[in-house]
């Protein structure tokens, strides 16, 4: 099967419901952006041997690839629209692999309301590589950013919230790499692996908090590193409380058996939860908004005017010394 046949069989169906994709037959795709909206554009790539390994399947690669991009859209408060896909495939990729990969993308497209609009496929020698550029829309001027919408005044109290539970993906990856997780049951291990394989981009939450959240970021590099992006962007000081950080029952059992694992949880990436900032006086708005969606939220810290940095306090309110703050891409 040549490139044109492969595109026709496996990827054209993913673009069928999006007229601007032009059936993937033209040199480029067309996108209409409503006049009261801004387009939000993000790119995330994954390389075999770096971002995924032999334990990954076409299904898990497709899920993590698309959902990590959707999570970036969520971090900006955007609703998904369309994406382009670049695949660099070795000769080991066969049609069954491509069928499973594209079928998983198709399922996730329906789940999240996004469509393939174009792409490129190239041959690679030694490692498979995948890259998505995803596009979404926000009402004009309402995108959430890492930078605070308002400059903090001395009396302001801003709070940091995070969705879901933190650290599961990092622990799941350890399990996948064959590392022992003391304290975890067999069911825990399965749960953690699944959290790594199938993160949940927080698109509904993003749309709900967009009107009053002051800054947001998704947890891709690690909780401390990503909250650090907010601190750096706005030149504010963030204090997080380690024992407030929401843990799954599985992660709790791992931490109980080995308290040093909290460091892995605080610095591990790829949870794709949302961390965001609100003015403490607007916590009532948050409560009302959240009555409409079913996403667990936890207040994990506070922001103050001050030097850009993140302190994490242990249960005795002492600043923890963290060896590693997050994922370095290079």
Residues in contact with a copy of itself by the rule CB under 8 A: 1-3, 6, 20, 22, 25-33, 35, 38-47, 49-51, 72-73, 75-76, 78, 82, 84-86, 88-89, 117-127, 129, 131, 133, 135-136, 140, 143, 145-147, 217-218, 220, 229, 232-233, 328-330
Helix (H, G, I), strand (E, B) or coil at 129: strand
CA 42 to chain centre: 12
- Closest approach, Cβ 263 to a copy of itself, in A, equals 20
What string of H, E and C letters represents the secondary structure of 220-256? CCCHHHHHHHHHHHHCEEEEEEHHHCCCCHHHHHHHH
The distance of closest approach from Cβ of residue 280 to a copy of itself in the complex, given in angstroms and rounded to an integer, is 24
Nearer to a copy of itself among residue 104 and residue 131 (C-beta): 131
Q: How far is the CB of 165 from a copy of itself (least distance, A)?
A: 20
Give least dist CB 123 to a copy of itself, A.
5
Please, what is the minimum distance in Å from the beta carbon of residue 114 to a copy of itself? 14
Q: Which is nearer to a copy of itself, 3 or 243 (CB)?
A: 3
81 versus 261: smaller Cβ distance to a copy of itself: 81
* 243-272 burial code (b ≥16 CB/10 A, e <16): eebbbbebbbbbbeeeeebbbbbbbbbbbb
Nearer to a copy of itself, 42 or 60 (CB): 42
Alpha-carbon gap, residue 240 to 17, rounded angstroms: 44
CB atoms within 10 A of CB 39: 14
Contact criterion met (CB below 8 Å) for 106 and 13: yes
Question: Which residue, 28 or 99, is less far from a copy of itself as judged by CB?
Answer: 28
Sign of CA dihedral 86, 88, 94, 100: negative
């Amino acid at each position: 099967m040549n490139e044109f046949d492969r595109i026709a069989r496996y990827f054209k169906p993913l673009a069928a419901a999006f007229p601007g994709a032009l059936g993937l037959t033209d040199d480029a795709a067309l996108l209409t952006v409503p006049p009261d909206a801004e387009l939000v554009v993000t790119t995330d790539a994954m390389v075999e041997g770096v971002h995924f390994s032999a334990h990954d399947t076409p299904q898990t690669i497709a899920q993590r690839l698309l959902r990590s991009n959707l999570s970036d859209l969520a971090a900006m408060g955007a609703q998904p629209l369309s994406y382009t896909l670049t695949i660099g495939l070795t000769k080991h990729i066969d049609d069954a692999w491509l069928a499973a990969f594209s079928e998983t993308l198709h399922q996730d497209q329906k789940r999240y309301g996004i469509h393939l609009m174009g792409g490129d496929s190239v041959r690679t020698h030694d490692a498979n590589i995948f890259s998505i550029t995803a596009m979404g829309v926000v009402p004009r001027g309402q995108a959430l950013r890492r930078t605070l919408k308002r400059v903090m005044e001395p009396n302001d109290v801003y709070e940091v919230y995070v969705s879901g539970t933190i650290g599961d993906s990092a622990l799941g990856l350890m399990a996948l790499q064959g590392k022992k997780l003391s304290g975890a049951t067999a069911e825990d291990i399965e749960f953690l692996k699944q959290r790594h394989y199938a993160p949940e981009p927080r698109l509904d939450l993003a749309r709900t908090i967009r009107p009053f959240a002051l800054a947001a970021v998704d947890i891709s590099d690690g909780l401390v590193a990503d909250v650090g992006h907010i601190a750096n962007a706005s030149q504010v000081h963030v204090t997080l409380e380690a024992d407030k950080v929401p843990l799954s029952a599985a992660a709790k059992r791992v931490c109980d058996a080995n308290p040093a694992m909290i460091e892995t949880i605080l610095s591990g990436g790829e949870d794709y939860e949302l961390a965001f900032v609100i003015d403490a006086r607007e916590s009532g708005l948050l409560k009302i908004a959240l009555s409409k969606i079913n996403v667990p939220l936890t207040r994990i810290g506070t922001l103050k005017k001050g030097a850009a940095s993140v302190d994490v306090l242990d249960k005795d309110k002492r600043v923890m010394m963290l060896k590693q703050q997050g994922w370095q891409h290079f």
